A and B are shown apart, each in its own frame.
Chain A
């Protein structure tokens, strides 16, 4: 059965800290790995990763994929209170374009 696992499930850090969020997967017919940020409503897209070892970067956020070990990490440097959110990892499959989400990591950044 397809599975996407995230850790930790929740995390509290102080402003300025660096955090690493983990996502591992066991999925047949892997196409890509997706990261989303969810605040109060719908998730917003952060990154799509398809190739191993290539870092995607956007401001203080970066992510990388390891297709051999079947995991990805999302790094946030110099965290701010506005980074407080649930971070969702998802895997898109080639078969029927199905997209499966992990449980999410709830990040709280305190001043």
Chain B
């Protein structure tokens, strides 16, 4: 079946601009996660959705970052007034519902490489 997809694969923008990154999780996966990965580092948690609601947004670095998942499937990560320090690969992952046995394993998309000039 189809895996997690993310669009665009690459995004180059200028400092101060607004960007949207999209994640399409595996069908039936209720949990969706966003991570940010800088060069030479491991993925850093940003936000976690269970269904439509953000269950944990403690990893969002500041109020320029926002994510939505209005229908419980596709999610969009929104970054306002981008800064050069936002340049990173943004990864999305999904997992099956809790109690189904596969909840702990996360399935990752290929990521969006964001470059802020």
Q: Do A and B come from one complex?
A: no
Task: Identify the A interface with B (CB < 8 A).
Answer: none
